[in-house]
Amino acid sequence: MTEYFYPGRMGRILLLAMEEVIGKEGVHSVLGLSPVTSNMEGYLDTRSEKTFPFTVMTQLQESLEQLYGPQGGRGTALRIGRACFQYGLREYGSLLGVTETAFRLLPLHTKVRLGAKSFAGLFNKHTDQRVRLEEKDDKLFWHIERCPLCWERKTSSPVCNLAVGLLQEALYWVSGSKIFQIEEIACIARGDPACTILIDPTPLS
């Protein structure tokens, strides 16, 4: 069976963001909950493109739910997703093209659409995750067609909150501190063909 990965650099971003939200002790507890993650602590090969398997990413989400309860775990994943963006920007900002002055001067709608497109491209190029961006009826649909967050999971509701948090923070940053309605409306773990995150590109306030 094919195994899919995130690169070590992104795995490190995820662990740093997790530490920021739940502290060193929290990370220690989460990693210790499964044999899939228990020997990861303190070691992560950030040079390798194939360091962080989808099975580990998904296990971390499940362990968060185990530790904090389903609701609390998903809320925590959302916050970790937001924190991931700040670390990600430091690591990948120059690749995204969103830090340049020319980009910052574009109209809001264009920035949101181009920003989302640029993030999708980053995942498609640097990870085994597959994202397809669709524009329909003035809305953006972020379809994760191969998702690292719910890999081989079976659930009754969408569980890829980390991706929602990441997009919330990304668009908050791209738009100069505007808040958007962003929600996961379909999830592979629930039997849907993709994990779909609906983005309303008109800010709430």
- Shortest gap between Cβ of 57 and Zn ion (angstroms)? 10
- Shortest gap between Cβ of 205 and Zn ion (angstroms)? 29
| Residues lying near Zn ion in the complex (CB under 5 A) | 147, 149-150, 160, 195
The widest CA-to-CA distance across the chain, in whole angstroms, is 48
In sequence order, which residues have a C-beta less than 8 Å from that of residue 123 and are 6 or more positions away? 129, 130, 131
Q: How far is the C-alpha of 48 from the C-alpha of 62, rounded, in Å?
A: 25
- Nearer to Zn ion by C-beta: 70 or 97? 70
DSSP letters spanning 122-150: HHHHHSS-EEEEEEETTEEEEEEEE-SSS
- Nearer to Zn ion by C-beta: 98 or 188? 188
> Do the Cβ atoms of 159 and 102 come closer than 8 Å?
no
- Nearer to Zn ion by C-beta: 35 or 193? 193
Structure tokens at 142: 């972020």
- Nearer to Zn ion by C-beta: 30 or 77? 77
- Shortest gap between Cβ of 32 and Zn ion (angstroms)? 24
- Shortest gap between Cβ of 149 and Zn ion (angstroms)? 5
- Nearer to Zn ion by C-beta: 31 or 194? 194
- Nearer to Zn ion by C-beta: 98 or 189? 189
Q: How far is the C-alpha of 87 from the C-alpha of 13, rounded, in Å?
A: 6
SS3 string of 5-72?
EECHHHHHHHHHHHHHHHHHHHHHHHHHCCCCCCCCCCCCCCCCCCCEEHHHHHHHHHHHHHHHHHHH
Q: How far is CA 86 from the centre of its chain?
A: 12
- Shortest gap between Cβ of 1 and Zn ion (angstroms)? 18
- Shortest gap between Cβ of 197 and Zn ion (angstroms)? 9
> Do the Cβ atoms of 30 and 18 come closer than 8 Å?
yes
